[in-house]
Structure 1
Amino acid sequence: MSELIVIGYDGHEVATKAFKAVQALRDDHVVELKGLAVVRVDQDGDTHVDTPARREEIALSATAGALWGMVLGILVLTPGIGVVGAALGGIIGKLTQMGVDNGFRKKVSDLLEPGSAAVVILASKITEDRFAAAMEPFGGTVLKTSLPEESERELAEQLAGPAPEATG
């Protein structure tokens, strides 16, 4: 099971410091990451997503990378989806089953007002007490949901598309 954690801050500077703290926690094996990003909203309301630098980038399989990108995109970059295509609708449906429903997305959207920022973490393993103690000095508003492993696998398969048929 993975944990999706969004920590909202009033400004980009403190979010960047918290982001670096999460990277240090990864290095100390307090958290195993599947994805990490800082999302900031500028004064014009435009959303910007920063991920770890290339040399520090989390080693992700192509499928895990696609899953993280989809979760991040649906969570942050598409707050008010109206009519959607069948494929995207199915993926949003799967994310909803996993706990990333419109209510959770609305809470994230409410955190991300102009001038604010958030650290978005997708963790496969976390030592809760050590993580909380390390993040406490930064304050912020914490939103969290669990993503069952089986649902993640189904979503990854949905993102990858159908497996090619074996020819004999």
Structure 2
Amino acid sequence: MAMTTLTVLKFESPDGAENALEVIEDLNKRQLIALHDAAIVTWSQGKKKPKIRQLSSLTGVGAFSGAFWGMLFGLLFFVPFLGMAIGAAMGALAGSMADVGISDEFIRSVRSKVTEGTSALFLMTSGAVMDKVVEAMKDFKFEVIASNLTKEQEEKLREAFSED
């Protein structure tokens, strides 16, 4: 079983992520990458907060629950940024995120790079045929902020956010 990777791609325009996702979805149809789940963050110029869209069409084995994305985006964009004084609840939450490969470093990195006038594509994928993916994505200008999950971390993550 191939490892699932959480990859964050940052684009220099508010619609970059949306356009890139179409390419990834096409690669998925052609079985050149397995797209398990995705979410798009669009941050238009002049807006205080980004808009977030989950790919609801992908509910399936690999899809994470809305709770996972909600918590991740909460940590990234909606928690007032108070340095380490986030509060005990958020601290514990951040701890459980760290267990699944989403570290403070990851959060800081995304938070500092995904800003007004940009967009980001959050992808849960596995089994990418790298040269084909690279070829398909070469026309896009983006920066990769990646976080790899081990099998164990992935299971912990699914467990933590499974909706029963």
TM-score (structure 2 length as normaliser) = 0.80
Partner Cα distance (1:15, 1:117) in 2: 6
Partner SS, residue 144 of structure 2: strand
1:157 to 131, 156, 159: 159
Residue 2 of structure 1 aligns to which amino acid in structure 2? T
Partner of residue 118, structure 1: 120
* Cα distance change of structure 1 residues 118 and 49 upon mapping to structure 2, 3 Å threshold: same
Q: CA deviation at 1:48?
A: 0.6
Q: 1:68 to 1:95 in 2, by over 3 A?
A: same
Shift of 1:90: 4.2
1:133–1:152 distance in 2 versus 1, CA, 3 Å: same
Query: 1:91, 1:158 within 8 Å by CA — same for their partners in 2?
Result: no
Identity score, percent: 18
Quote the offset at 1:114 in angstroms.
0.8
Q: Over alpha carbons, which structure has the higher Rg? A: 1
Rounded to whole Å, the distance in 2 between the matches of 1:157 and 1:97 is: 12
Aligned residues, how many? Answer: 157
Among 139, 142, 147, the residue aligned to 1:140? 142
CA drift of 1:66 comes to 4.6
Q: Deviations over 1:106-132 (max 9, x none)?
A: 111122111111111111332222212
In structure 1, what is the Cα distance between the partners aligned to 2:62 and 2:121?
A: 22
One-letter amino acid matched to 1:130: K
Structure 1's unaligned 5+ residue stretches are 164-168
**Aligned position for 1:59:** 59
Residues in 2 aligned to 1:122 and 1:40: alpha-carbon distance in whole angstroms: 18
Alpha-carbon RMSD: 2.7
Q: Is the 8 A contact 2:37 2:62 kept in 1?
A: no
TM-score (norm 1): 0.78
